[in-house]
Amino acid sequence: MLKFFFFNAVHLSGTKYGCGVGGCGACTVMISTYDPVTKQIQHRPANSCLFPICSLHGAAVTTVEEVGSIKPRIHTIQERLAKCNGSQCGFCTPGKVMSIYALLRNHAEPSMEKIIAALDGRFQTVNCKKYNKGINIHSGLCNTEEFPPVDPTQEFIFPPELIVGLIDFWLVIGAACCLAQLRDILMKAVPKLAEEKTKIYQAFLQHLRTLAGEQMRSMAVCIQHRNIEMFLSCSTFDYRLNRLQFSPTDGKRQILLNDQFLAGCEHADLKAKEVIVSVLIPYSMKDDFISAFRQAESQKNALSIVNSGMRILFSPGTDTIVDLSILYGGIGSTILSARKSCEKLIGRQWNDQMLNEACRLVLEEIFLPPSALGRKVEYRRTLLVSFLFRFYLEVLHGLNQMVRTGQELHTHISVQAMSALGMLQSGIAQGVQIYQLSQTIHTPGQPPQDPVGRPIMHQSGIKHTTGEEVYIDDIRPVDGELSLALVTNIKAHTKIMSINASEALQVPGVVDVVTARDVPGENGKDEQAYAEDKVVCVGQIICAVVAVKIVYEDLEPILTIEVTICLLFNNRFRILELEYLLDHRREDKEMDVYVSTQHATDVQEFVASALNLQYNKIMCHMKCVGGAFGGKITKPLLFAVIAAVAANKTGHAVCFALERNMDMLITGRWHPFFGKYKVGFMNDGRIRAADFQCYINGGCTKDEFESVSPSLIPLIGQCIYILNLLVRGHACKTNLPSNTAFRGFEFPQAGLFVETCIVAVATQTDLPHEKVREINMYKRVNLTSFKEKFDAENLWKCWEECLDKPDYYSKKKGIAIIPMKFSVGFNATYFHQVTSSNQSLVHIYIDGSVLVTHGGIELGQGIHTKMSHRELKIPLSYIHLCETSTTTVTSGKYTAGSTGTEINARAVQDVCQILWKHLDPIQRDNPNGKWEDWISEGHKQSTSLSATGYFKGYVTNMNQDTEKGHAFPYFRFGVSCSENIGTDIVMDACFTINPAIDIGQIEGAFIQGVGLYTLEEIFFSPEGEQLTLGPDTYKIPAICDIPEQFCVYLLPNSCNSIAIYSSKGVGEARFFLGSSVFFAIQDAVAAARKERGLPMDFTPNSPLTVERICMACDDVFTEMVRLFSSLL
């Protein structure tokens, strides 16, 4: 594929590899080809991970390196994206640059709709921080970008099958036409034709808006795309399919896209020596109505759960059905036609009685068994009749519009029914970010070189946009380097009887097979690096390399917490950068380990223990990580051991990279959570007592559960003060891949559980939800349930501000406001300690330049950018931050829990103050000198210009036996209010070190939380095999999921006396605020249920997907499906 050609043959690493299936957009490049119809060069974005090199004949390929780089120049797109802080970890940013670059090459002044279309479906943006900025940055390029003229003489000869055009009464689609070309042609053609002729084309355009991402639309040939095949077949009477037969005596022939074509009849199918030339789609007629529908897990770039095409033809001037076609996709392995139902409805009038009969007939004819592939059987059956109802309304509305003045309407449509005809399209996202200026809250008269409190650009921002940031995956291979592949378990719970590697060793290129027997020392700790006697989940690593025969003995697996319990959470991490390691053995048994991790010291410890070596022999290197969020703490330890053992056995450097499906299978996920509660409350909503029981699915090993459980119980109270509270946590061991901690450290699960309890109390007392929250929230100075004293003043300020900003009390339904009290770090001093002696290391060189190293790892959170340059009082250009390495900083702790910046900045602050003490006598002797003068003089006087710094960590003293004490350093408060199109967030983080980065963290964490609570869902087979293993089956938020109104306010004068410069960590805390969208949806569902007189005490599970929303509404269609199913 093109991506690997760039890296291996051309040595270009700017294009990144994320998913391998065209779902993330990180690998986007621009393909330029000549269009003989328009006589112009067309520039299209493409997924290089899927693009065969052999298909590039006559095409030019542009990568991010050609757009711009640091050395010669950077492009305007790259510059604006970087300076406006439009990147986070930067792994996906080159793909984003290329998407916009390709757009601007085709459209010098694109509309906002085109900009959003260019970025939609790009799932890598889910964790990025500047959502609104990402769109607004690019919108500013519309009138400023100039491109070199294209020489029209440099033309290639292209086949005529690329042509799309209108001929007589037909739209002719060439077989080589891509979806984006078809969309552009239709958008130009529709305004030129009479409206009655374009019904089919308008339906086509509506379908194309949500189909795939722009890279797919630009490259996928529409004739062979399965979604378009479904659409083309929705009107089986008028389509003609032209096919060219190679035999010169037969020529061309046309076949109808009718039931015989769908059934695959021989005379209506493609023959061995035929190729498709074109498709002819006729104009629609006055009495013709055509619609297409699709429902997917997310708005864009998602496979349909069910899709449908429907067409009806009436007798002229009447509502009598002459012809009807109803087709469904997503129900079986092929497109299904409700032909029998349609035949029975011909001659009927288009009214409510016909609709009821049609629904019954369709449910009878389109059968979906309970064990159908794809799950969601009841929901999919509901969609069958829901689509039919929507089509009924559309047609009825069209018929009524055709009625002349004075004539009677065919059937009146109620206002409530009319609301179903609205097109739900995302608008252009706009936002506000408000914070205090640095000079008003930090040091008065702050010098210009002091970056604290200023929105300084991310230190690696330019390198992110040019693709020059070097991740582990970008390291060039060394001589003799070997690649390593994993052999994983295929059953949930088995004994290993034997491992036969003979066939693998006979395969050309295979050097060796590595198993547990090759581990000189400790084979992992809680979890084995290589399985030995027994495997406990699907995906557990058994050995390395390929084609190994393994004989198993089956054991009974345990897959869920309880057979009868539905899980509250079942999600995994969304990390774009795949696990990638390089272990390089050197002399004296030394080993360099390059790994994408959040904890270099643990990698060093595990590798040394596995190889039975001293720690000083293992050098772990980490420059930057392409996203982590807690998912790269424990699992990389095992991967490092696996690669290190292989390197030790073979004597060669070993490269180890996971493919996306393998990465999703074995790298862990959130702990699935189930909660039970008993609550005693008063009529005014005041909660007097609560009994909470929490069950957490830990998977097959403990992983981080021993850290998660002690943190979960103190945090479960959230902002609610409950005088009599009993909390019990239960760890459940199952035969599923081991779960691990993620952003929020189980607080998102616990917080949603408690807020669900609040909603239940509000429902029982018939009180507004916000009133129940207010009456139970902590008041000013309080004690937590574990007797830690804190001041809730900022919580109430955030609450009142957030009620005021969106004018909360004027809204009626579909709105929710959620408060948050979140702790920083861990309830143990040990984890806040940077290192034992070498937390930070600073060298000042004779030219005045400064090298800073510390124990924190750059994960995209801007830790290097935030390191305190204030202390040295020199410009940022003088300072360079080097990689994180165990050779410079020993015994470091996790970069996690939103503490990375705080504790490492303290260490850097300490070392800078030490160096200033060394330079103080020199400065006093020459007060008017420059920095360079002082350093030069210090060198002459043999003054130490190198030092180490230390920060012991925040002191906590939680007593686990008495369950009392000072558990956390401090708390962060925030409130989020969400409604159907907008979100307002207020945070008590006024004294931010870098407001641009921190507000981006708030926005990104919120959207990530929206995905957790409303989109992301994992499914397992009854045998314990994970079924969601890539972006095509596991959906995360994209640009289309950003609130149209997205406002973030940093509470003025919210000081934190504990952290450096009064700042507060923001990364994790804001994640939970995405639950406000969950509860806003729940409020809307409750309003719908109330209209039908249904009980209001329902409890939806998370994630609240489109399926769960539909089934919770319990409308006439879900009732119809249940009734029909009971009769089967």
Residues tagged active-site: 1068
Q: For residue 89, say whether it is annotated as part of any ligand binding site.
A: yes
Strands 840-844 and 946-949: antiparallel
CA angle, 285 as apex, 282 and 291 as ends, to 5°? 80
For residue 221, the tally of other CB atoms under 10 A from its CB is 18
Give the dihedral of Cα atoms 1000, 1006, 1010, 1011; nearest 10 deg.
Answer: 50
Q: For residue 900, say whether it is annotated as part of any ligand binding site.
A: no
648 membership: H or E segment, kind and range: helix 635-650
H-state helical runs in 403-525: 415-418, 438-441, 461-466, 502-506
H-state helical runs in 959-1105: 995-1014, 1075-1091
H-state helical runs in 767-899: 769-776, 793-804, 829-832, 863-866
The Cα 644–Cα 1106 span in angstroms is 45
Contact 869, 879 (CB under 8 A): yes
Q: At what angle do helices 747-765 and 769-776 cross, to 10 degrees?
A: 110
Between the alpha carbon of residue 101 and those of residues 46, 291, 469, the distances in Å are: 12, 34, 19
The Cα 679–Cα 184 span in angstroms is 58
984 membership: H or E segment, kind and range: strand 982-987
Q: For residue 1079, say whether it is annotated as part of any ligand binding site.
A: no
State the DSSP code for 6: I
**Residue from 331, 338, 340, 281 nearest 307 by CA:** 331
For residue 155, the tally of other CB atoms under 10 A from its CB is 12
State the DSSP code for 26: T
Q: For residue 169, say whether it is annotated as part of any ligand binding site.
A: no
Contact 1097, 286 (CB under 8 A): no
Q: For residue 174, say whether it is annotated as part of any ligand binding site.
A: no
State the DSSP code for 1: -
Two tokens, residue 495: 């004994």
Contact 314, 331 (CB under 8 A): no
The Cα 294–Cα 219 span in angstroms is 22
SS3 336: strand
SS3 1028: coil
Q: For residue 802, say whether it is annotated as part of any ligand binding site.
A: no
**Residue from 319, 315, 327, 313 nearest 284 by CA:** 313
For residue 237, the tally of other CB atoms under 10 A from its CB is 13
Q: For residue 224, say whether it is annotated as part of any ligand binding site.
A: no
Dihedral sign for Cα atoms in the order 644, 649, 650, 651: positive
Dihedral sign for Cα atoms in the order 215, 218, 219, 221: positive
Q: For residue 745, say whether it is annotated as part of any ligand binding site.
A: yes
Q: For residue 960, say whether it is annotated as part of any ligand binding site.
A: no
Residues 6 or more apart whose Cβ sits within 8 Å of residue 961: none
The Cα 835–Cα 889 span in angstroms is 7
The Cα 1006–Cα 976 span in angstroms is 9
The Cα 878–Cα 849 span in angstroms is 5
Give the dihedral of Cα atoms 840, 844, 845, 847; nearest 10 deg.
Answer: 140
Residues 6 or more apart whose Cβ sits within 8 Å of residue 447: 873
Strands 884-885 and 618-622: antiparallel
Q: For residue 19, say whether it is annotated as part of any ligand binding site.
A: yes
The Cα 570–Cα 476 span in angstroms is 37
User: Binding site: what residues are annotated?
Assistant: 19, 24, 27, 49, 89, 92, 294, 598, 629, 743, 745, 897
User: Binding site for FAD: what residues are annotated?
Assistant: 294
User: Binding site for substrate: what residues are annotated?
Assistant: 745
User: Binding site for Mo-molybdopterin: what residues are annotated?
Assistant: 598, 629, 743, 897
User: Binding site for [2Fe-2S] cluster: what residues are annotated?
Assistant: 19, 24, 27, 49, 89, 92
